[in-house]
Structure formats: structure tokens, C-alpha cells
Copies of this chain bind each other. A is one copy, B any other.
Amino acid sequence: MTLNTLPKVPSSRRERPAKPALTRAGIVDAALTILAEEGLGRVTMRRIATALDTGAASLYVYVRNTEDLHAQVLDALLGGVELPPEDGPWRERLADVLTSYMAVLFQHPAMARMSMSTHPSGANYLGLLEGILGLLREGGIPDTDAAWGVDLLLSFATVTAVEHGHEDPLEADADDLSALAKQLSAVDAGAFPHIARLGADLLSGTGEQRFQWGLDVLITGILHTDRTFFQEI
């Protein structure tokens, strides 16, 4: 057989192209496909290896560990965030970019959860950071406040995605919410008067309304809070 002596090129273009060469990008690609089709719970070393027709151990040449892999997947997802357009009121554009970021994570709450533990640092994340900092500057927010404020804004968008996003698009979290509503309405009015008084109001509004309100609270708060005071404590 001459197969062994053939130059290396053909190996990547056989009649059965099932086995492309392993690369870091290829692994992340396979991970994204599995994420979309089976959810983050299945984005495991073993599952990806199976998709790439190899063994889990082989992936460790290109990926340090599962955390590293997930971080790559996250940054790829962040490529879908719409960065702020050139014109329009800065506050609206800021809300838009944060809403877009939240919407991307909303589809993958488990990914959002992860992004809070491992601080993202990929190119797409940096682009997002840059865009928000630009808008805050445009809004006249002092650099010192913007430096801390961007963190606050991104964290809020992330936590919203984690809390209200649904991993499995099939089963809505309606059950979850009505169970919570039931518990709140069954609360002992003697022991928890404020909870009893507010009742269903604690869960009122759509997720969208609450998110927009939260963004407004944050931006207003940032505009009215002087950071220099806190650094001198």
C-alpha cells in the first residue's frame, strides 16, 4: 500500500471526510454545534471527542481543560453581540448593546453562570467592554466612575441572563415562576408582613420591563454617585 508514503495533504481530503485535522478552532466549532443542538450539559470533553471521531485525551493537546474550552465557546458566542451604532442618544445605545449582550447569554444561562466565575478576556469580550466604555465617556461619565460602572452594567446583564434565561427552550420557566408565586402568596403575614403586603407585586412585570428598569436604575445611579468619595474611606 502506498497510503503511508503519500504526502500529508490528501489525508485531509479523503472520500470520507469524517475526520478533519484536530485544531483548537475545530474543537471550539464542534463545541458550538453541540451547544446549539444538545445544550451546555453535553459540551464535555468526551462528547466533543466523539463528534470529532477521536478520544477525549486527544483534545488536551489544544485545550488546557474544560474551563478553557468553555471560555473559548463563550467568546465565540459574544461575537453575536451587536455593538453600539454610531448615532443616537448614548443612553439608548447603551441600553441596546447591553440588551443584545443579555439576549445572547439568555440563550445559554449555564454559559452566563460560568462567565461570572472565569472572567472573560477574549477578543469579542474586549470589544464589548470597549464599546460600553465609549458610550459612558460620551455620556460625560468620569473615567473613574466608568471604570467601575462598566463592571456593574455587565454584571447586571449577566445575572439577568442567569436568573431568567432558560437552558432548554422547550420547557419554559412558567412552572418555576408559578411555584414561586404560590409560595409567596402562602407566606405567613404575621411573620413576613412586607412580603405579604407586596405579594404578587414582587414578581410583577415582564423580564424585559424589569431589565430595562434595572438598566435605568444603574445608569442613573452611576450618574449620581461619585466614586472618589468611596476611595477615600
Contacts and interface: CB of A to CB of B under 8 A. Distances in A.
Interface of A: 109, 113, 116-117, 119, 121, 126-127, 129-130, 133-134, 137, 143-144, 146-152, 155-156, 158-160, 162-163, 176, 180, 183, 187, 191-195, 197-198, 201-202, 204-205, 209-210, 212-214, 216-222, 224-225, 227, 230-231, 233
Nearest to A221: B221
A159 B119 contact: no
A122 B201 CA distance: 19
Contact of A231 (B116, B134, B176, B205): B205
B221 A217 contact: yes
Which of A127, A149, A210 has most chain B Cβ within 10 Å?
A210
B149 A116 contact: no
Given A129-B195, A130-B195, A159-B158, A231 B216 contact: no
Copies of this protein in the complex: 2
Nearest to A114: B113
Given A129-B195, A220-B221, A148 B116 contact: no
Contacts of A130: 191-195
B134 A194 contact: yes
A137 B194 contact: yes
Given A117-B113, A144-B201, A218 B220 contact: no
A233 B217 CA distance: 16
Given A117-B163, A217-B152, A231-B205, A198 B146 contact: yes
A197 B143 contact: yes
Contacts of A197: 143
B217 A231 contact: no
Contacts of A121: 180, 183
Contacts of A119: 163, 176, 180
Which of A148, A156, A224, A227 has most chain B Cβ within 10 Å?
A148
